[in-house]
Amino acid sequence: MAVGLTAKQQAFARCVGVRNMSLIDAYRAAGYSYKNQTTKCQQANASKLHKNTAIRLAIDSYNREADRSMVASVASDEELVLTELRRVIKDGESDHVKVRAAEALGKTVPGLFRGEERTEPQRTVAEIQAELDELLAEWGMKLVKSDKPDKAVH
C-alpha cells in the first residue's frame, strides 16, 4: 500500500493504473459509490480523487509496473515463439512444415519479404574511372592508357 493512502484510495489507483478503468468505474470498484450519489456526483468525486497528488503518484507507479510487466511478458512470448520456430525448422515433420516455420521466422526480420531489391546503385563509366583514379592517386599511382595491357599501370 502506498504511504498515506487509504485502502479505497489504493484500490482506486490500482483500478486506474493497472486495470485501465475509467475514473468513474474505478471509483465504483474501489467502493466509493453510494446509493444516494448521482452519476454526476460520482464523476466529480472520481475526478477529485484522480487529482490527489498521492493517488496520482500511486497510479503512475502502477502504470510503470504494468509497462515493465507487459514488456517482459512480450519479450518472453517473442523468445518462446522464435525458439519454437527454430526448432520446427530444424526438426519439423515435413519440408512443408519447415518452410512455413522458416517463412514465419523470416517475417520477424524487417524488410526481408517486402520484395525490396538489394542492388548497388548504378554508376557511370566516368564515375568508376574517377574513383579508380582517386584510389590510385592515394597509392601514388596513376592509370596510363596504353595499347599494351601489361603496361597500363605505372
**How confident is the model over 2-22, as pLDDT tens digits?**
568 999 999 999 999 988 899
Q: Per-residue pLDDT tens for 93-103? A: 888 888 888 88
What's the mean pLDDT in 41-48?
94
Could you state, in order of their start, the residue ranges of all structural domains in the chain? 7-103
d(CA 101, CA 90): 10
| Cell numbers given for 97 | 512444415
Q: Cell 452519476 appears where?
A: 39
Q: 109: pLDDT confidence band, cut at 50, 70 and 90?
A: confident
d(CA 42, CA 63): 23
Q: Yes or no: say if 1 and 10 are a contact pair by the CB < 8 Å rule.
A: yes
d(CA 18, CA 126): 64
Q: Yes or no: say if 5 and 54 are a contact pair by the CB < 8 Å rule.
A: yes
| pLDDT above 70 for 114 | no
